[in-house]
Amino acid sequence: MKEIGIIIDTKGKTAQVEIKRNSACGDCGACHMSKNKSTMEVTAINLIDAKKGDSVEVEMQFANVFKAAAIMYGIPLVAFLFGASITYYLILNLGLNWDQNLVPFFSGIALLAVAFGVIKYFDKKGLFNSKYQPTITGFAEIKKIEKDPIKKIMG
């Protein structure tokens, strides 16, 4: 997956890159951008020592996109299902007089929150940064959009 962006800041071996949303993005919401916002900022590994204001190509391996999505969505989903299932099983087998729908639901939500917390903790520790972080692979040329042929003729 390759995108073109402009570096807005550099820090050591990483750079903040502003990437414009393209029409192929659709409305999946994976980048957490609203429909009204046309750019997003990402932190990318700066292999080519690009400077602020440079137009660059930012690439993330397609397989890594799926792995990152599995971590961010799959692990919390499994945690929710595990929490709800175990609580439901315990209520039935221990003869507890608790609500069989609400208690498993809220315990699943609690484990979902714990899963997100664990993912965030490991992300801050740097476990995911190098594997799933985009990489700046080269400089890009941004072509200037010329006027419409009709506007060019009309002035």
DSSP class per residue in 56-110: EEEE--HHHHHHHHIIIIIHHHHHHHHHHHHHHHHHHHHT--S-TTHHHHHHHHH
pLDDT at 152: 56
Model confidence at 145: pLDDT above 50: no
Cβ atoms of 87 and 104 within 8 Å: the answer is: yes
The predicted-structure confidence for 45-78, as pLDDT tens digits, reads as follows 888 888 888 889 888 777 777 888 888 899 999 9
pLDDT at 137: 87
Please give the Cα distance from 6 to 16 (Å, whole number).
Answer: 9
Q: Packing angle between helix 75-94 and helix 102-124, nearest 10 degrees?
A: 140
pLDDT at 72: 87
Pick the CATH number of 2-60+133-154 from 2.40.50, 3.30.70, 3.40.35, 2.60.120: 2.40.50
Model confidence at 142: pLDDT above 50: yes
The predicted-structure confidence for 94-131, as pLDDT tens digits, reads as follows 988 888 899 999 999 999 999 999 998 988 877 776 66
pLDDT at 148: 57
Kindly list the domain boundaries of the chain, sorted by start residue.
2-60+133-154, 64-129
Burial 36-61 (b: 16+ CB within 10 A, else e): eeeebebebbbeeebeeebebbbebe
- Give the H/E segment covering residue 17: strand 14-20
What's this model's pTM, rounded to 2 decimal places?
0.58
pLDDT at 129: 60
pLDDT band at 24 (very low <50, low <70, confident <90, very high): low
Please give the Cα distance from 90 to 33 (Å, whole number).
Answer: 41
